[in-house]
Amino acid sequence: MTNVLVNGMPEPYIDTADRGFNFGDGLFTTILIRDGRPCLWPRHWQRLQAGCAKLAMPAPTEAELLNDLSQLTSRGRSEVAKIIVTRGSGGRGYQPLASAVPNRAVVMRPLPEDVVTLRKNGIVLARCTTPLARNPVLAGLKHLNRLEQVLASIELAKLAAHEGLMSDTAGNLIECTRSNLFIVQDGRLLTPPLLECGVAGIMRAQVSESAAGLGLTCDQSVLTDDMLATADEIFVTNAVIGIWPVIRLLQSKSRSLQVGPVTAALIGRLEQDGVVL
Amino acid sequence: MTNVLVNGMPEPYIDTADRGFNFGDGLFTTILIRDGRPCLWPRHWQRLQAGCAKLAMPAPTEAELLNDLSQLTSRGRSEVAKIIVTRGSGGRGYQPLASAVPNRAVVMRPLPEDVVTLRKNGIVLARCTTPLARNPVLAGLKHLNRLEQVLASIELAKLAAHEGLMSDTAGNLIECTRSNLFIVQDGRLLTPPLLECGVAGIMRAQVSESAAGLGLTCDQSVLTDDMLATADEIFVTNAVIGIWPVIRLLQSKSRSLQVGPVTAALIGRLEQDGVVL
């Protein structure tokens, strides 16, 4: 059985004229498949549609994507689905064809091994030096221009850490290489605004909603190193891992933390809602 | 006869696991082929090597690329070659495999029809609103993260202009959607520095050298709208077009210009050196 569909066909190849390959001209999303079921699908689909609209590119239909997923998943199997949608093929250089039809690739991958263990035990978070560029036009989108994350991940591979913290070129903490950042301070959740850069993560949105359900406020706020140094709790989120608590922060001043009560309550809520492993 | 080679094979397809397709994790260059011969090859190859080094990715060999080009070109034919080099396939998300082997695609395309006519008659240059993000780590590279140029080109398609001028998020003029920007002021050439963003074009370097050969100084300088409004001459450059003089500038204050003597002398020099059509 194949683990890749390109435009619905079981082929692991894309046209070299594809605009994703040429320019990163497209979007993607990474979905947790739990027991054959895509978790938080409405959020993934809504973000994909909104992203296509913002990039002025056509979107595949929801039926096409759900059909692809149903062909690749099977009951009892938990894994990760990655959907890539591009503005299609061709055009005159950067300028797309008016008639461009989107290309889509859906790829299934095994779960990372450490997802549940690290959610229980916590992670080490280190600082990467590769900055995130600020561009309000692209901020929040999970687009295919991800060289900054690649370079930060190469840094991270040399550090004794599970995730890498990234700042923008103005020095504001924004997110991690593959996850969003939250702190808990005095019982209140804070996460950086993503108006200039960063990816508006599916799990970031879900955690904000779960927090409200638990009677917690969650605000968007500029986060500084000093705030990280004194935060009661720190955690990171993405759609595959859910929440990973930070138990050690490697900064100019390193510190150790516990898995705190707010983080634990949020993890409990995600488990209860069946949106994590 | 094929017009595409992927890793030396006559196939117009790339693996969906390719990191160019997934993340824009790679570089490209666009080469003028004049009568079967790649123009300015040493500059293209040097920039590609330097870019791979800066992105900490392996490069194909010069022999591989020259062999691909010689298979695809033929004497008497003038066209455009695009070389795409990516960090190869796979990895754990953003993190590349240590063993990654680069993928390369070489694609031949027909010449744009208007290259020589517009070099003679000049172009209309309009302002795009999509900003260029500033990131010193990526500045100057001709990498595959080109969503900003795509969005600016979509703007340009709606304007009555041949090229679109782009500023960075700080408001500095940087370049055009697919070319670099020069002005002539009091017999002196000025072009924006590319320390925070922009593509260090092959023809930009060639024109700087040609200017020196003509006894002209060429400096890197921040360019402002006011400087464009009073410049003696304005032109844009890239490896396929050579030089296009700007004869009309659509800005807050629009203006018309002549093809000036410095621009004409530089065009003459490029023609004489056989590096343009």
Judgement on whether residues B120 and B226 belong to the same structural domain of the protein? yes
Catalytic residues of A, which ones? 30, 142, 175
Q: Do B147 and A146 touch (CB under 8 A)?
A: no
In this prediction, residue A251 carries a pLDDT of 82
Judgement on whether residues A17 and A105 belong to the same structural domain of the protein? yes
Count of all residues that appear for chain A in the document: 277
Judgement on whether residues B86 and B150 belong to the same structural domain of the protein? no
Q: Where are the alpha helices (DSSP H) in chain A?
A: 19-23, 41-54, 62-72, 115-121, 147-156, 202-213, 225-230, 261-272
Cα–chain center distance at B232:
24
Tell me what the mean pLDDT of segment A229-258 comes to: 95
pLDDT surpasses 70 at B268: yes
pLDDT surpasses 70 at B143: yes
Closest CA–CA distance from residue A212 to any residue of chain B (Å): 31
- B134 vs A contacts (CB less than 8 Å): 133-134, 169
Tell me what the mean pLDDT of segment B95-124 comes to: 96
Domain with residue A27: its CATH number is 3.30.470.10
Contacts of B152 by beta carbon, 8 Å cutoff, 6+ apart:
A94, B128, B130, B164, B166, B177
- A157 vs B contacts (CB less than 8 Å): 95
Answering whether pTM is above 0.90, one says: yes
Classify strands B79-86 and B26-34 as parallel, antiparallel or unpaired.
Answer: antiparallel
Residue B277 placed within a domain: no
In this prediction, residue A252 carries a pLDDT of 77
Between A and B, how many residue pairs show a Cβ–Cβ distance under 8 A? Answer: 176
Question: With left for phi above 0 and alpha for psi between -120 and 50, is residue B220 left, alpha or beta?
Answer: beta
Judgement on whether residues A69 and A145 belong to the same structural domain of the protein? no
In this prediction, residue A231 carries a pLDDT of 97
Q: What is the per-residue pLDDT across A189-232, written as a single tens digit (0 to 9) for each? A: 999 999 999 999 999 999 999 999 999 999 999 999 999 999 99
Angle of CA points A121, A126, A131, to nearest 5°:
140
Which pair of tokens denotes residue A51? 């992203």
Indicate the pLDDT class of residue B253, thresholds 50, 70 and 90.
confident
Judgement on whether residues B256 and B161 belong to the same structural domain of the protein? yes
Judgement on whether residues B65 and B83 belong to the same structural domain of the protein? yes
CA dihedral A88, A94, A97, A101 (to 10 degrees): 10
- A92 vs B contacts (CB less than 8 Å): 112
How far is residue B168's CA from residue B190's CA, in Å, rounded to a whole number? 17
3-state secondary structure of A154: helix
Question: Which one, of B177, B231, B170, B164, lies nearest residue B195 by Cα?
Answer: B170
Instruction: Identify which of A15, A107, A135 has the shortest CB distance to residue B169.
Output: A135
> How many domains does chain B divide into?
2
- Domain end point (choices B83, B109, B135): B109
pLDDT surpasses 70 at B260: yes
The range of the structural domain enclosing residue A96 comes to 4-109
- Domain end point (choices B45, B80, B109): B109
- Domain end point (choices B76, B109, B142): B109
- B23 vs A contacts (CB less than 8 Å): 24, 144-147, 149-150
3-state secondary structure of A121: helix
Q: What is the per-residue pLDDT across B181-201, written as a single tens digit (0 to 9) for each? A: 999 999 999 999 999 999 999
Judgement on whether residues A234 and A149 belong to the same structural domain of the protein? yes
CB contact at 8 A, B139 and B170: no
Instruction: Identify which of B17, B25, B152 has the shortest CB distance to residue A150.
Output: B25
Residue B37 placed within a domain: yes
Residue B125 placed within a domain: yes
Q: What is the per-residue pLDDT across A75-99, written as a single tens digit (0 to 9) for each? A: 999 999 999 999 999 998 999 998 9
Residue A37 placed within a domain: yes
Domain with residue A144: its CATH number is 3.20.10.10
Judgement on whether residues A66 and A128 belong to the same structural domain of the protein? no
3-state secondary structure of B238: strand
Indicate the pLDDT class of residue A2, thresholds 50, 70 and 90.
confident
CA dihedral B32, B205, B124, B154 (to 10 degrees): 70
Residue A277 placed within a domain: no
Judgement on whether residues B13 and B96 belong to the same structural domain of the protein? yes
In this prediction, residue A152 carries a pLDDT of 98
3-state secondary structure of A65: helix
Q: Which residue has the tokens 């859910």?
A: A242
Judgement on whether residues B44 and B73 belong to the same structural domain of the protein? yes
- The half-sphere exposure of A173 on its side-chain side, counting CA atoms within 13 A, is 27
How far is residue B111's CA from residue B81's CA, in Å, rounded to a whole number? 9
Judgement on whether residues B265 and B143 belong to the same structural domain of the protein? yes
Residue A212 placed within a domain: yes
In this prediction, residue A253 carries a pLDDT of 80
Residue B227 placed within a domain: yes
Closest CA–CA distance from residue A25 to any residue of chain B (Å): 6
Judgement on whether residues A148 and A251 belong to the same structural domain of the protein? yes
Phi and psi dihedrals of B108, rounded to 5? -100, 140
Q: Which residue has the tokens 């435009």?
A: A7
In this prediction, residue B1 carries a pLDDT of 66
Q: What is the mean pLDDT of chain B?
A: 97
Give the DSSP H or E segment for B250.
Answer: strand B242-250
Residue A64 placed within a domain: yes
Tell me what the mean pLDDT of segment B101-121 comes to: 96
Q: What is the ipTM of this complex?
A: 0.98
Q: Is B102 exposed, middle or buried (0-12, 13-18, 19+ CB in 10 A)?
A: buried
